[in-house]
Structure 1
Amino acid sequence: MTALGELIGIDERTVLVLGQELDVERGQPDVANALVHRAGETLVVVDTGVTEAFRAALREAMDRVGPWSRVLVLTTHGHPDHVGNNDLADELGVPVEHWVPAPDLDQMRDPASYWVQAFERVEGMAPLPAPALAGPALVSLFQPYRPFAATARTYEERPLERIRIGSARFTGWTFADGAVRVLRSQGHCAGHVIVHLRDCGVLHLSDEGNGACGAMADADQLKIQTVLGAVALLFEEGEAALLTDGHTFAVRRGAGVVVPFLDGLLDQAAALQSAALELITGDGPVRPSAFTARYAEVFAGLGGGGANPNALFTAMMAVNELHELGLRPESAEADTPWSRPALQLGD
């Protein structure tokens, strides 16, 4: 068992700070892992989690990797479990930069509306109160919630760079004389980035590896699968040596461990979509609640899990799977049937 704020030392200048899983019944927010690294005299903090206890653990990790004279805080995406302690950057008494993804600004400013939208998509498909109540109730667990440091700016204010790592090509932004590479991925949600720390060989996947199918309304399944394949290539070529992420409470070391893990996610994604296709019989409409119940069984049978597995997130995945298969809702009502749009144009 791991404890919130437990530190895993990767090397003398790199520490993974462990978060915790979501437990709504106990009023416990999920807290994303954070990565703390020193590149020369620059302290690099990748995500800041949430809760005062996690904030204290971050400070401990910062002290462990010192000394440093400036700070770089990098936000991988705007979900509350990753950004609640971002204002920690304002307390450090040294020059600080804080960078966030522009596509996630709206949800960072108003997380309740973001989650209401997410829950509206699965109303009638999963056990939850009305979305207008469930969204704010969930967000209320994430306290304190201070997603912007005083120096916060968006990555997109910087010129976009083409970044080559081995034979893989990305776009993104580099910091600390190239020692820190922020790579656009945008699969788990609209603004998502991953982070490569060149000198210690760590690739921080954040939430792109949460499961075989993205759950959020702004998830992009193709981008998730593309980035998993690109990251596997980095490990095969020796350009990365250790994989960390937002919700796995461990460090995966070496291509022999990491590549099968990533390939397994890709295989599961293909198997899950194939199985979902078999659940849709004929050309008639599909009731999402019935599809979700069967989808959950298939998902469990394939060994599906991911971060914070629960019925709500499985329903969110099921809706995305229906969309991937080309179906669309027939109305805006809760649990409305989904069907394939006609391919023939009308007269």
Structure 2
Amino acid sequence: MTPDETAGGLMAALGDLIRIDDRTVLVRGQELDLGHDQPDVANALVHRAGDLLVLVDTGVTEAFRTALREAAEGLGPWSRVLVLTTHGHADHIGNNDLADELGGTAEHYVPALDLDQMRDPVSYWVRSFERIAGVAPLPPPPVLAGKLVSLFEPMRPFGATTRTYEERPPERIRIGSIRFTGWTFADGAVRVLRSQGHCAGHVIVHLRDPGVLHLSDEGNGPCGAMADADQLKIQTTLGAVARLFEEGEAALLTDGHTFAVRRGAEAVSHLDGLLEQATALQAAALRLAGEGAGADGRVRPSAFAARYAEVTAELGVGGANPNPMFAAMMAVNQLRELGLRPESGEADAPWSRPAPDHPAPPGPPAPPEA
């Protein structure tokens, strides 16, 4: 199956191998389906740079592990293995210990800022769901977090060779006219670029020789859903990546969840579309917050989230794994992006805009001394 055929919408399934060139394969994941106890599985890239086998993310499930092995065997021979984790969410890290089983000298790197959630994913998701308690009709946060994390089995996020990227000296990386910071491997053939938008530790990966830019989850939609998402960093990353395609420094765009390989102008159009959706959605959110606010300017997040979901549908805004859970998380993030803050930690507590602290007006001048 070719990249163009995949982008054109042919039916594909978990673990399908989408050949990009004779040294690069995209391994297809799947969508989240909580109703049927199906975990989402992120796409992974398998690439050979000389004698180095590179895996960008490892998904989850035994079926996906088998597909990764098949992809690796089809790209041999190699004598070294490098596994790069783009971020610590469970759908990207379940088979990370494969680094130690493929043979040869192995290295595995993960973002330091995501170590806590990799060690204790339930606590990470409890914190995420506590923000939407009462906003959407969902089970209590500990129950929902436990159910969600239980889908991602077996979970092997660490291996004998796991280290953090941050243990390596940071590098200034220039690609075309764009400057990044990050780390390079294989004499610059593999570039790990810090982005940190989708979650705190997120990185994206550029494979120089095939011209692949793997966005992972930075392109999951126009508004990040996670509690540690940074909307500005998401949008800055999308803009920088679009520029790389315009300059011919990247040729193929892949990501974690859309199951497509986009070329050149199509990639730019896709990225511009996400940025246009982000601005349109924030403008709509500002209007909704004004319409839904009481006379005191307070906004009830549950009411805002319901209207926000309607507006996203009207605007045709998509994203990875659309469902009420992520829609509510996006709505809460959008309120914060507008500058509103919750007035308390209670479920569905009203949000309001903090008043600026203006200095007290000066008093009357003191009478002149006699």
- Same-fold status (TM-score > 0.5): yes
Task: Say which of 265, 269, 281 aligns to 2:274.
Answer: 265
Q: Name the CA distance, whole Å, in 2 between partners of 1:22 and 1:294.
A: 24
| Matching residue of 2:117 | 107
| Matching residue of 2:284 | 275
- Residue 300 of structure 1 aligns with an amino acid whose one-letter code is A
| Matching residue of 1:208 | 218
Q: Which runs of 5+ in 2 are unaligned?
A: 1-10, 361-370
| Matching residue of 2:348 | 335
1:65 is displaced (CA, Å) by: 1.1
After superposition, where does 1:191-206 map in structure 2 within 5 Å?
A: 191-206=201-216
After superposition, where does 1:242-261 map in structure 2 within 5 Å?
A: 242-254=252-264, 256-261=265-270
- Residue 310 of structure 1 aligns with an amino acid whose one-letter code is N
| Matching residue of 1:139 | 149
- Residue 274 of structure 2 aligns with an amino acid whose one-letter code is L
TM-score, normalisation: structure 2? 0.92
CA deviations 1:308-336 (Å, max 9, x no partner) are 00111010000000000000000000000
* More deviation, 215-224/132-141: 132-141
- Residue 227 of structure 1 aligns with an amino acid whose one-letter code is T
Is the 8 Å Cα contact of residues 196 and 234 (structure 2) preserved in structure 1? Answer: yes
Task: Say which of 173, 179, 202 aligns to 1:169.
Answer: 179
SS at match of 2:310: helix
1:156 is displaced (CA, Å) by: 0.4
After superposition, where does 1:1-347 map in structure 2 within 5 Å?
A: 1-254=11-264, 256-281=265-290, 284-345=297-358
- Residue 293 of structure 1 aligns with an amino acid whose one-letter code is A
1:345 is displaced (CA, Å) by: 4.8
- Residue 314 of structure 1 aligns with an amino acid whose one-letter code is A
CA deviations 1:231-271 (Å, max 9, x no partner) are 000000000000000001121112x1011110000000000
Is the 8 Å Cα contact of residues 79 and 103 (structure 2) preserved in structure 1? Answer: no
1:346 is displaced (CA, Å) by: 8.0
CA deviations 1:142-170 (Å, max 9, x no partner) are 00101012100000011110100000000
CA deviations 1:47-76 (Å, max 9, x no partner) are 000000000000000011111110000000
Q: Name the CA distance, whole Å, in 1 between partners of 2:288 and 2:102.
A: 54
Q: Name the CA distance, whole Å, in 2 between partners of 1:115 and 1:346.
A: 41
1:305 is displaced (CA, Å) by: 1.1
Is the 8 Å Cα contact of residues 81 and 103 (structure 2) preserved in structure 1? Answer: no
- Residue 273 of structure 1 aligns with an amino acid whose one-letter code is Q
1:37 is displaced (CA, Å) by: 0.1
Q: What is the alpha-carbon root mean square deviation over aligned residues?
A: 1.0
1:344 is displaced (CA, Å) by: 2.9
Larger radius of gyration: 2
Q: Which runs of 5+ in 1 are unaligned?
A: none
1:2 is displaced (CA, Å) by: 1.5
CA deviations 1:108-134 (Å, max 9, x no partner) are 000000000000000111221100111
Q: Name the CA distance, whole Å, in 1 between partners of 2:248 and 2:359.
A: 55
- Residue 317 of structure 2 aligns with an amino acid whose one-letter code is G
Q: Name the CA distance, whole Å, in 2 between partners of 1:142 and 1:128.
A: 20
Q: Name the CA distance, whole Å, in 1 between partners of 2:14 and 2:95.
A: 15
- Residue 272 of structure 1 aligns with an amino acid whose one-letter code is L
Q: Name the CA distance, whole Å, in 2 between partners of 1:41 and 1:91.
A: 16
- Residue 202 of structure 1 aligns with an amino acid whose one-letter code is V
TM-score, normalisation: structure 1? 0.98
Q: Name the CA distance, whole Å, in 2 between partners of 1:263 and 1:61.
A: 32
- Residue 94 of structure 2 aligns with an amino acid whose one-letter code is G
1:25 is displaced (CA, Å) by: 1.1
- Residue 24 of structure 1 aligns with an amino acid whose one-letter code is L
